[in-house]
Amino acid sequence: MNYDVAVVGAGVIGSLIARELTRYNLKIALVEKCNDMAMGTSKANSAIVHAGFDAKPGTLKAKLNVEGTAIMPEICRTLGVPFKPVGSLVVAFSDEELKTLNELLERGNINGVPGLEIYDKEKLKEAEPFISDEAKAALWAPSAGIVCPYELTIAAAENAVVNGADFIRNFEVKTIDFNNGNFRLSNGENEINTKFVVNAAGVYCDEIAALIGDNSIHTTPRKGEYMLCDKSIGHLANHTIFQCPSKMGKGILVTPTVDGNLLLGPSALDIEDKNDVATTSDTLADILNIAKKSVPCLTAREVITSFAGLRAHCDRDDFIIEPSDKNSQFINVAGIESPGLSSAPAIALYVKDIIIKAMPADEKSNFNPVREEPVRFRHMSNEERKALIEKNPAYGRIICRCETITEGEIIDAINAPAGARDVDGVKRRTRAGMGRCQGGFCGSKVVELLAQELGVEINEITKFGGNSKILYERTK
Amino acid sequence: MQKNIICVACPMGCGVTVEIADNGDILSITGNTCKRGDAYARTECTNPVRSLATTVKVNGGIHNVVPCKSAGAIPKDKIMDCMAVINAAEAKAPVSLGDILVENILGTGINIVATNHCPAK
Amino acid sequence: MLNYDIVVIGGGPAGMAAALKAKECGVDSILILERAETLGGILEQCIHTGFGLHYFGEELSGPEYADRFIQLVDEQEIEYKTDTMALEITDNNVVYAINKVDGLLEIQTKAVILAMGCRERPRGALNIAGTRASGVMSAGTAQKYVNIDGYMPGKKVVILGSGDIGLIMARRMTLEGAEVKCVCELMPYSSGLTRNIVQCLDDFNIPLHLSCTVIDIHGKERVEGVTIADVDENRKPIPGSERFIECDTLLLSVGLIPENELTRAVGIELDPVTSGAVVDEYRETSHKGVFACGNVLHVHDLVDYVTLESQTAGEGAARYVLGKSKNAEYVTTKGVNGVRYIVPQKVNIKNDGDVKLYFRVGQVYKNAKIVAKYNGEELIRRKRPRLAPGEMEDVVIKNDMLKNFAEGGVIEISVEV
């Protein structure tokens, strides 16, 4: 197939870039090595929209964070993705840290972060009743928020597909050739021809760049482990609660999620293996202990799952968003670690500008920016539910009881543009299996529905593509 | 020869020791705390039996398999052989609870019977 | 809006027994709501035998045990709706439920019987480290795949947890040709029945490692192995005892949790130990007219006891509906010294029958005594050759004892060695 732009990597960055480019009369491919989008950094991170006071003034991080955060609510609305403007607090526990708060405040003001304010102990306690008595003060940032990062990714990719992009799954780019002004991407079996390549491959962006001989990118996968707690203790944090940042990042946070759970993490450990998303018991114990410094009443009892994600830490200490020195039609979007999610909408616009400048194109008249929010049965009133089931009985059968997810929602997720192909894909789109029983009850039903909708036997269904099959052959 | 058995006649779980002569005669049974333990140990040493529960393949049913059990206990050492016979058997839906799916399995005189219904698809 | 005297939520052994008893006691207007396609609950996938020894005096498989009650429900013409999920119970006993045929159901009822059963504890609750490869599932999920769907979930299997479901699945997977490498149990004893250890593990030479747990899961896409380690008396892994076991599947049988989402949402008082409702001797909860029975109330060892308890709840609901409930003057029950919990948690001393108190102990005891006291005064003392956490115990408080109690008193049960 021939494209104008092939975006390599269907994370939140790649998907939003692809969507932004579909505004134009361009043929866009969104190329992903996994069976679904949001399979790397985008599915396992803090889900925070940062206010933007952390980054050093003058950096791309500082600029794109503040810009991205400013447009995040709107883009989430347009794409039907949950976003909550909960605001964030950086808590100081010592006089030393009080100084840090003032530094952050100052930096935030330079970066153009709106509404920053130092809360004294009393005001902090009012905002967060369960905060530690040891907390002395906090930096309040009202523009911070929380978002569901994989839903944002999925919605952006879906919307890109609706607007004409091709979503190409299970295509691991192994070689890239450049001939007559065109790239040829190959996975060893099939080829994709394109004028421009956007390298949005997350922790693999150094390897993708190296395929055209660009060895300028040095990234280290930095692993962050998280613990997710049951909704029953969701009330223990009203805002995202940070501790003071260190060299390794913003430290362990305690934050509500858009779905009402409580998230603790991340740890930060530089590792070698880009596939290593294993959790470790020592780290998880550490996370809980450090999180308890902020909110002492946390216990391991309410933890429903833990997970790890990798972020692409770059030695340049800033986002790298520019054409490669080796080929100006190859745009690196590399080193997108925190605040990458917050910056994502702004990064998409920034990359779009680079490409349209290099390859002028007309805007499409029929671009539809809106992705209708999927049916969310759990948020409906009984009247709405009644009407919905009358229209389509599939909404009358609950598949995931913990999260109240219906058969209709799962079928929708499978049949959506660039829909779910595996159990984890259904889970990310619908939340089926994300509740306190973690798929114990609905897992086998989701497998059945996937098999039914995709027209295959149930033992062909995988957890997340590849060899992650759930079942072997028939017993007899 | 000495054989150590955990009695399962009740939840006590007594450790029972059985002395067996070369000709197979039971010389002594010790460690049991009741008569039922004696009887259990004796059977376990001479002719251990088990009931078997598994599934049989069903054609045309709402499920691929229907559960079944041996209608009586079968010799313990024939369990895996019985599985092979049962795995080769097929039933046609509808299957009703109690239907005989394999008759007189391996000449034991015991039938394999369906333990649930499997309506036709 | 539909109208019934009693709505039973859950059509497993608990719900069916409760409904049948309520009918027998004279209530005709009963509706059972069941979320699965058929009545029977979890018994439908428990195809092994061993059910019904107490209640029927014969050894039945799960589906057979369930079928006897399904037949009776049909004979008694008790109404039920399958494939139907109850979503909400309101303060004034309106039950909201949905299914594909009726859509949203709004049911006004006089009494509700909660019989939703329990669910298995997931991996997350254990925080086992390692990858998120496919091949980790609860033993019950594997049981459904093998026994109902007829598919193998794995070929080389490690099982964590020696509860009865874990033991049963060790045998089941072996019979179907899988290699079960071992069963690991965190505690120094198995919570499963001795019979199951002998017939499910020993018969097939499957090792049971006590005081041992899984500390790491390996494999990128499918599980490729687990690391197991012995644990010390504080259940912490002992450094140096780690060993790798190659397997493609890890089955978890690490406990059951009563499924009380609906219960909690109505604001019914729960017992932190059982994770079920606090109930009186008729299994009435803190919410008037709402009763609970079976594994949603506390996890039972044998279905036979679920049946008996649910009959009690069915009778209680019928008495409530028919206006026969007595004014309540409660004494409370309290497990001390080795007794983890007692159900019921309170007893109406105006009740005109005997009351059986069910309880579980916290560890294994040999040749111990069970002692029941009322306000410190000894009522009952019974010898028990063996007590184990996996087995439910009971004592009966005779009605003539009850008559001497006063409101606010405390019945304590303890273990003496």
**CA of C97, closest CA in chain A: separation in Å?**
9
Burial string for C249-269 (b: 16+ CB within 10 Å, else e) reads: bbbbbbebbbbbbbbeebebe
Structure tokens, C323: 């206006």
- Which residue in B13, B64, B69 is closest to C49 by CB distance? B69
CA gap C260, C296 in Å, rounded: 7
Burial string for C172-194 (b: 16+ CB within 10 Å, else e) reads: bbbbbebebbbbbbbbeebbbbb
**Mean of the per-residue pLDDT values for chain A?**
95
Contact A30, A10 (CB under 8 A): yes
**Please, which chains are in contact with A (at least 3 CB pairs closer than 8 A)?**
B, C
pLDDT above 70 covers what percent of chain B? 99
- pLDDT band for C121, please (50, 70, 90 cuts): confident
Co-location of B31 and B57 in the same domain: no
> A50 an active-site residue?
yes
Task: Report pLDDT for C124.
Answer: 66
Q: Which residue matches tokens 């394109």? A: A194
Contact C41, C117 (CB under 8 A): yes
Task: Report pLDDT for A245.
Answer: 85
pLDDT above 90 covers what percent of chain C? 86
CA gap A402, A379 in Å, rounded: 14
Task: Report pLDDT for A248.
Answer: 67
CA gap B100, B111 in Å, rounded: 6
Cβ-proximal residues to C90 (8 Å cutoff; 6+ apart), any chain:
C96, C266
Domain termination residue (choose one: C221, C239, C254): C254
Co-location of C23 and C108 in the same domain: yes
- A460 CB near a chain C CB, below 8 Å? no
Phi, psi angles (nearest 5°) of residue C105:
-100, 135
Co-location of C22 and C44 in the same domain: yes
Contact C13, C35 (CB under 8 A): no
* B121 within a domain of the structure (yes/no): no
Tens of pLDDT, residues A146-156: 999 999 999 99
CA gap A223, A245 in Å, rounded: 17
pLDDT above 90 covers what percent of chain A? 88
Co-location of B34 and B85 in the same domain: no
Q: Does residue C266 register a pLDDT over 80?
A: yes
Q: Does residue B14 register a pLDDT over 90?
A: no
Co-location of C279 and C377 in the same domain: no
Tell me if A84-146+220-314 shares its fold with A377-460: no
* B79 within a domain of the structure (yes/no): yes
Q: Does residue A436 register a pLDDT over 80?
A: no
| C-alpha closest to that of C305 among C14, C21, C61 | C14
Q: Does residue A373 register a pLDDT over 80?
A: yes
Co-location of B58 and B96 in the same domain: yes
Residues shown for chain A: 476
Co-location of B21 and B60 in the same domain: no
- Chain C segment 145-174 residues within 8 A of B by beta carbon are 146-151, 172
Q: Does residue A212 register a pLDDT over 70?
A: yes
Co-location of B32 and B57 in the same domain: no
Contacts of A393 in chain C (CB under 8 A): 100-101, 103
Structure tokens, A430: 């619908």
Co-location of C152 and C166 in the same domain: yes
The enclosing H or E element of A153 equals helix A149-162
**Nearest residue of A to residue B58, measured between CA atoms:** A476
Domain termination residue (choose one: C254, C278, C312): C254
Strand pairing of A166-168 and A28-31? parallel
Q: Is B71 exposed, middle or buried (0-12, 13-18, 19+ CB in 10 A)?
A: middle
Q: Does residue C378 register a pLDDT over 70?
A: yes
> Residue C224 is part of which domain span?
122-254
Co-location of B42 and B58 in the same domain: no
Tens of pLDDT, residues A316-339: 889 999 999 999 999 999 999 999
CB atoms within 10 A of CB A210: 15
Phi, psi angles (nearest 5°) of residue C369:
-120, 145
Co-location of C159 and C238 in the same domain: yes
Residue-by-residue DSSP string for A169-190: -S----EEEEETTEEEEE-SS-
Q: Does residue C325 register a pLDDT over 90?
A: no
Task: Report pLDDT for A121.
Answer: 96
Task: Report pLDDT for A119.
Answer: 97
* B16 within a domain of the structure (yes/no): yes
A436 contacts C99? CB cut-off 8 A:
no
Contacts of A476 in chain B (CB under 8 A): 55-57, 65, 87
CA gap A338, A61 in Å, rounded: 8
Co-location of C145 and C115 in the same domain: no
> Residue B100 is part of which domain span?
53-114
Co-location of B39 and B11 in the same domain: yes
Q: What is the mean pLDDT of residues C27-41?
A: 97
> For A84-146+220-314, which CATH superfamily applies?
D-Amino Acid Oxidase, subunit A, domain 2 (3.30.9.10)
- C391 CB near a chain B CB, below 8 Å? yes
Runs of H (alpha helix) within C176-229: 194-196
| C-alpha closest to that of C123 among C253, C241, C210 | C253
* B77 within a domain of the structure (yes/no): yes
Task: Report pLDDT for B11.
Answer: 67
The enclosing H or E element of C70 equals helix C62-75
Residue-by-residue DSSP string for A86-134: --EEEEE-SHHHHHHHHHHHHHHHHHT-TT-EEEEHHHHHHH-TTS-TT
Contact A336, A371 (CB under 8 A): no
Domain termination residue (choose one: C272, C304, C325): C325
Q: How many structural domains does chain B have? A: 2
Co-location of C377 and C401 in the same domain: yes
- pLDDT band for C154, please (50, 70, 90 cuts): very high
Tens of pLDDT, residues C218-262: 999 999 999 999 999 999 999 999 999 999 999 999 989 899 999
**CA of B117, closest CA in chain A: separation in Å?**
18
Task: Report pLDDT for A47.
Answer: 95
The answer to which of A110-119, C48-57, C62-71 has the lowest mean pLDDT is C48-57
CA gap A344, A10 in Å, rounded: 13
The fold adopted by the segment(s) A2-42+150-218+316-358 is FAD/NAD(P)-binding domain (3.50.50)
Tens of pLDDT, residues C56-81: 999 899 999 999 999 999 999 999 99
CA gap A432, A316 in Å, rounded: 40
- pLDDT band for A79, please (50, 70, 90 cuts): very high
Q: What is the helix, strand, coil percentage profile of chain A, to 5?
A: 35, 25, 40
Contact A158, A170 (CB under 8 A): no
Task: Report pLDDT for C125.
Answer: 63
Contact C7, C33 (CB under 8 A): yes
**CA of A411, closest CA in chain C: separation in Å?**
14
Contacts of A306 in chain C (CB under 8 A): 124, 127
CA gap B28, B5 in Å, rounded: 13
Co-location of B34 and B66 in the same domain: no
Tens of pLDDT, residues C122-153: 776 677 888 889 999 999 999 999 999 999 99
At B81 the three-state DSSP class reads helix
CA gap A196, C356 in Å, rounded: 78
Q: Is B111 exposed, middle or buried (0-12, 13-18, 19+ CB in 10 A)?
A: middle
Q: How many contacts, defined by CB atoms under 8 Å, are there between A and C?
A: 133
Task: Report pLDDT for A437.
Answer: 80
Contacts of A444 in chain B (CB under 8 A): none
CA gap A229, C325 in Å, rounded: 42
- Chain A segment 457-476 residues within 8 A of B by beta carbon are 474-476
Contact C357, C394 (CB under 8 A): yes
- C273 CB near a chain A CB, below 8 Å? no
Phi, psi angles (nearest 5°) of residue C318:
-65, -45
Tens of pLDDT, residues A184-199: 999 999 999 999 999 9
This prediction has a pTM of 0.93
Q: How many structural domains does chain C have? A: 3
Task: Report pLDDT for A277.
Answer: 87
Domain termination residue (choose one: B30, B46, B62): B46
Half-sphere exposure of C225 (CA within 13 A, CB side): 7
* Residue A336 DSSP label: -
Contact A186, A174 (CB under 8 A): yes
Between C20 and C325, whose confidence is greater? C20
Contact A119, A138 (CB under 8 A): yes
At A347 the three-state DSSP class reads helix
Co-location of B90 and B67 in the same domain: yes
CA gap A407, A394 in Å, rounded: 5
C154 contacts A396? CB cut-off 8 A:
no
Torsion of CA B84, B87, B92, B97, to 10 degrees: 90
CATH number of B89's domain: 3.10.530.10
Q: What is the mean pLDDT of residues C385-406?
A: 91
Give the start-to-end residue ranges of the domains of chain A.
2-42+150-218+316-358, 84-146+220-314, 377-460
Q: Does residue C108 register a pLDDT over 90?
A: yes
CA gap C288, C91 in Å, rounded: 9
Strand pairing of C30-33 and C79-81? parallel
The fold adopted by the segment(s) A377-460 is Arc Repressor Mutant, subunit A (1.10.10)
Q: Does residue A34 register a pLDDT over 90?
A: yes
Could you tell me which residues are beta bridge partners of residue C246?
C225
Angle between helices A443-454 and A407-415 (to 10 degrees): 50
CATH number of C54's domain: 3.50.50.60
- Which residue in B12, B53, B115 is closest to C386 by CB distance? B12
Q: Does residue C357 register a pLDDT over 70?
A: yes
Task: Report pLDDT for B90.
Answer: 97
Residue-by-residue DSSP string for C71-132: HHHHHTT-EEESS-EEEEE-TTSEEEEEETTTEEEEEEEEEEEE---EEE--GGGTT-EE--
Residue-by-residue DSSP string for C125-152: GTT-EE---B-EEEHHHHHHIIIII-B-
Structure tokens, A256: 């509500």
Structure tokens, C373: 């006291």
Q: Which residue matches tokens 């299970």? A: A170
Contact A476, C229 (CB under 8 A): no
Q: Based on C-alpha coordinates, what's the Rg of chain C?
A: 22
Residues shown for chain C: 417
Strand pairing of A2-8 and A28-31? parallel
Co-location of C115 and C238 in the same domain: no
Contacts of B57 in chain A (CB under 8 A): 476
Q: Does residue A282 register a pLDDT over 80?
A: yes
Contact C66, C13 (CB under 8 A): yes
Co-location of C115 and C126 in the same domain: no
The answer to which of A118-132, A254-268, C291-305, C381-395 has the lowest mean pLDDT is C381-395
CA gap B33, A243 in Å, rounded: 64
